[in-house]
Chains A and B, each alone.
Chain A
Amino acid sequence: MQAPEAMAEPLIRMAQISKSYGNVQALQDVDFEVREREIVGLLGDNGAGKSTLIKVLSGAVRATSGKIYIRGQQVEIRNTTDAIAHGIETIYQDSALVTQLSIARNLFLGREPIMAPGFLNRMDQAAMATVARDLLRQVGIEKNIPPDTPISALSGGERQAVAIARAMHFDSDLIILDEPTNNLGVAETQGVLRFVRSARDSGHSCIFIAHNIHHVFQVVDRIVVMRRGRVVADAIDPRQTSVEAVEQVITGMAHAPASAPARPG
């Protein structure tokens, strides 16, 4: 497996991943990879296995069999803490935030900056507020929201932006966005899409899962389609393919476009 490849090692490579719940085969021998600075759109109908695949990668679910490599090194991802330690950050709807805590406190939860000559690990709240203000602007919140506002007072899009800002600030290599544009207004959606582009520019990779194919088409470099627990196309280029053609691949009306080999490289 360690044989040198022509191209550089991908950031993430999942090999032969299978997952079964009793008799139900949720994932079957799935190969999936994300390269450095690449945004991959993961598409598929409900029950196609895309969220199971993502849960395996983010540590929420353990695969029945298969291996995961990060930059060529095989890793064990047993839980979400492992995944974060390996630079994989997953953003779900809003379950990842503590609604009672402020924006700044959520951003730094678990990695609070500590004041140098402090007593009992005093947090540097001034620094937290400054960074939080900065980040909120970066992810496109133009309104002036004080960083000490509790999450419970924010809208769905603003919460999404906070979660995204957190992944961005802590330099995750891979940011997984699970339905990031659900329930968002037009301006907020544009904010999220703009962030995804800027994340790539600053060196992150993303997996972008969305029901709205048009949103996916606007940002991703490559589209992977899953159907019934298998990857059925993994090299669709959104610049050379129409939305209709991809829809047909998702529903199983057509095979992957001719340009798609089973695995590049």
Chain B
Amino acid sequence: MPERSLLERLIARPELGPLVLLILEIGVFWAINPDFLSPQNIANTLAFTVELGLIALSMTLLMTSGEFDLSVGSLFGFAPVLMWTLFNAGATSLEIAFVIAVVVAALIGLVNGLFVTRLKIPSFLVTLGMLLVVRGTALFITDGFPQRTWSAEGQWLAETLVGDFQLGPFRLYMSLFWFAAAALILGYILTQTRAGNWIQASGGNPAAALARGVNVTGTKIRLFMLSATMAAFAGIISSIRTSAANPNSGTGYELEVIAMVVIGGTALSGGRGTIIGTVLGVFILRVMRNGIVLIGVPGLAYNIFIGVIILGMMALHSWLERRHHAGT
């Protein structure tokens, strides 16, 4: 097997499909409505994008290790509700409330991880149960009403998380930098570090990984905790940006996040994952949501497009996979 040329290497990369799709998508929307690439629309799209994107990044690592987490959407709603309830009741300062909400989320992730690894229950069932517990708790402690968040104005924590600023013609939120930082760090962990090797091995062939002394259980538990923490963090960012902590927010996000991850080229069955692909997947779905409204397609038709994209990308990935193995 000789060294492959640059072009062949590029084609063999799983991220190529999503990249082409994203460029096509942007091109089509821009051709139909030039406003699509206006600074204001770009800034708007970015603000929405990063909140789901944060969850998708940690979900990528979790899915590479062979598990997934359906409770992220409910944590996205629950964590801000907990934080603002504590703060509004005057129980704690905003900083302490933030720390408590994130720690509680991490503990929920720990419980998910323990159920999956110690009791050997599939993550689908464990996190489905946790989804209901967490969502139910959020509804119960708020009686179903949103929590006030406008007192966040001027708090340094709120500014650090979602403060906005003007960069040329773009009005950007701080959360964009959190997303970029998370993508860089998690991408680095997955591809460059020992932990990344263990994550891929745990998803690819857990028995072989275990036999080599890889701590499969610990790896998965940490990723469940990361996933829950990121979901809480994203939820808190969203609550400050939209000035509302609604116990129902985040409903259905778990499936949209998983869709973003698999469109990007991460295998649902584990062993193979790509952060670059996930970033592309996040943008593909978010640009689609924004674009079809802008070109005048009724927003209710959104799910049709998402479904078609998922089916199309899965077909492409499986075709590439088979073609890749045909020669060996």
Q: Which residues of A contact B (CB under 8 A)?
A: 80-81, 84, 95-101, 105, 108-112, 114, 119-123, 125, 143-146, 149, 152-155
A109 and B201: CB pair below 8 A?
Answer: yes
- What residues of chain B lie closer than 8 Å to A122, measured between beta carbons? 192-194
A98 and B208: CB pair below 8 A?
Answer: yes
* A99→B200 CA distance, assembly (Å): 10
* A123→B201 CA distance, assembly (Å): 15
- What residues of chain A lie closer than 8 Å to B271, measured between beta carbons? 98-101
Other-chain residue from A97, A112, A149 in contact with B197 (beta carbon distance below 8 A)? A112
Q: Most chain-B CB neighbours within 10 Å: which of A99, A100, A105, A125?
A: A100
* A121→B199 CA distance, assembly (Å): 14
- What residues of chain B lie closer than 8 Å to A100, measured between beta carbons? 200, 203-205, 267, 271-272
Instruction: Label chain B's interface by main secondary structure.
Output: helix
- What residues of chain A lie closer than 8 Å to B298, measured between beta carbons? none
The 3 A-B residue pairs whose C-beta atoms are closest, nearest first, are: A110-B212, A100-B271, A98-B204
* A78→B102 CA distance, assembly (Å): 39
A96 and B194: CB pair below 8 A?
Answer: no
Other-chain residue from A81, A97, A111, A121 in contact with B193 (beta carbon distance below 8 A)? A121
- What residues of chain A lie closer than 8 Å to B208, measured between beta carbons? 95-98, 109
- How near does chain A come to B89, taking the closest CB pair, in angstroms? 38
Closest A residue to B207 using CB positions: A95
Closest B residue to A97 using CB positions: B208
A84 and B328: CB pair below 8 A?
Answer: no
Other-chain residue from B2, B200, B324 in contact with A144 (beta carbon distance below 8 A)? B2
**10 A-B residue pairs with CB within 8 Å:** A81-B210, A81-B213, A84-B212, A99-B271, A100-B271, A101-B200, A109-B212, A144-B1, A146-B1, A153-B325
Other-chain residue from A99, A101, A114, A149 in contact with B194 (beta carbon distance below 8 A)? A114
A98-B209, A144-B1, A146-B3 in contact; A120/B193 too (CB < 8 A)? yes
Other-chain residue from A108, A112, A120, A144 in contact with B188 (beta carbon distance below 8 A)? A120
> Which residues in window 271-295 of B have CB below 8 A to A?
271-272
> Which residues in window 106-142 of B have CB below 8 A to A?
none
Tell yes or no: B157 within 8 A of A by CB.
no
- What residues of chain A lie closer than 8 Å to B306, measured between beta carbons? none
Tell yes or no: B103 within 8 A of A by CB.
no
B195 and A120: CB pair below 8 A?
Answer: yes
B272 and A123: CB pair below 8 A?
Answer: no
Known: A98-B201, A112-B197, A153-B325. 4 other contacts (CB 8 A): A96-B212, A98-B208, A105-B201, A145-B1
* A96→B197 CA distance, assembly (Å): 15
Other-chain residue from B2, B194, B207, B324 in contact with A112 (beta carbon distance below 8 A)? B194
A109 and B214: CB pair below 8 A?
Answer: yes
B1 and A149: CB pair below 8 A?
Answer: yes
